[in-house]
């Protein structure tokens, strides 16, 4: 039986890159997004072309009442759950001064990026701990952001949500290590997705000026390949670690 991965926010962008990279490494995949669209069909078809059994699950991770159904759908698809990838996330609706952040914007971002991720991880971990079958390495991989450590005053609530995910990753690593379940964080840099498309001109200029030592955009596949390497068990004595997939953006320079 193939290992089974559950990927949130899998319709497109980084989520699709993760689904396809996992398919290439021999995983079957259940992927979650708000609604089934043409993007969902493309992700599923591409994963199946790579040899995976792929299933779409329509759900909003901000709705905690849907979490059991999400995990149940993964088990129904694959008979097991070896990997949860917490990828779903949103940015701020409109960038602006930290002094102008509204409670509504703060709550909206936190509901998806932090609260939803926290409780879905809890639901998945409980189910996996109760299931002792299989010898495949098991893990939770959480996609945060360079903004987990790099501050942006024009999207404070986003930065706060991603910084909190870093602590969640370490807490899960401590709690789940005895059960052989690893927990990792991946911090993407400037990745070419729909979320960054609105700032293409800005980032083209900054990358050209040397914003990151590797002077190119990151691609969803860059994140996917990192997730797949971790999930395949290539780093069996590592947990609670943050992997920067950012072309060196995070490196302090003089």
Q: Is 133 a catalytic residue?
A: no
Residue 22 to residue 29: CA distance in whole angstroms: 8
DSSP state of 55: E
Nearest Cα residue to 121 out of 184, 34, 77, 33: 184
Distance between CA atoms of residues 20 and 53, nearest Å: 11
Q: How far apart are CA 110 and CA 117, in angstroms?
A: 9
Structure tokens at 43: 């992700």
* Distance from chain centroid for Cα 75: 20
- SS3 state of residue 219: coil
Tell me the CB-side half-sphere exposure of residue 90, using CA atoms within 13 A.
Answer: 19
Q: Which two tokens stand for residue 155?
A: 């999207």
Q: Which of 40, 105, 121, 158 is catalytic?
A: 158
Catalytic pick among 144, 145, 161, 212: 144
183 is catalytic: no
Residue 3 CA to its chain's centroid (Å): 18
Of 105, 161, 162, 203, which residue is the catalytic one?
162
Question: Residue 162 catalytic?
Answer: yes
Residue 30 has what DSSP assignment?
E
List active site positions.
144, 158, 162
């Amino acid at each position: 039986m193939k290992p089974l991965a559950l990927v949130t926010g899998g319709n497109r962008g980084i989520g699709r890159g993760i689904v396809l990279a996992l398919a290439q490494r021999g995983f079957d995949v259940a992927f979650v997004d708000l609604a089934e669209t043409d993007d969902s069909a493309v992700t599923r078809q591409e994963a199946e072309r790579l040899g995976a059994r792929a299933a779409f699950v329509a759900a909003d991770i901000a709705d905690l009442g849907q979490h059991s159904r999400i995990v149940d759908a993964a088990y129904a698809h694959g008979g097991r759950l070896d990997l949860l990838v917490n990828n779903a996330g949103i940015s701020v609706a409109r960038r602006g001064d930290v002094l102008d952040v509204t409670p509504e914007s703060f709550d909206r971002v936190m509901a998806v990026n932090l609260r939803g991720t926290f409780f879905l991880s809890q639901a998945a971990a409980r189910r996996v701990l109760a299931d002792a079958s299989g010898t495949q390495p098991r893990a939770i991989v959480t996609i945060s952001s360079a903004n987990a450590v790099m501050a942006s005053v024009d999207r404070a609530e986003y930065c706060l949500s991603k910084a909190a995910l870093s602590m969640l990753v370490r807490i899960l690593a401590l709690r789940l290590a005895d059960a052989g379940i690893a927990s990792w964080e991946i911090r993407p840099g400037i990745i070419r997705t729909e979320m960054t498309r609105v700032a293409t001109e800005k980032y083209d200029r900054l990358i050209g000026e040397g914003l990151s030592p590797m002077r190119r955009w990151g691609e969803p596949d860059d994140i996917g390949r990192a997730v797949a390497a971790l999930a395949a068990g290539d780093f069996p004595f590592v947990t609670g670690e943050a992997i920067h997939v950012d072309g060196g953006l995070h490196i302090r320079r003089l």
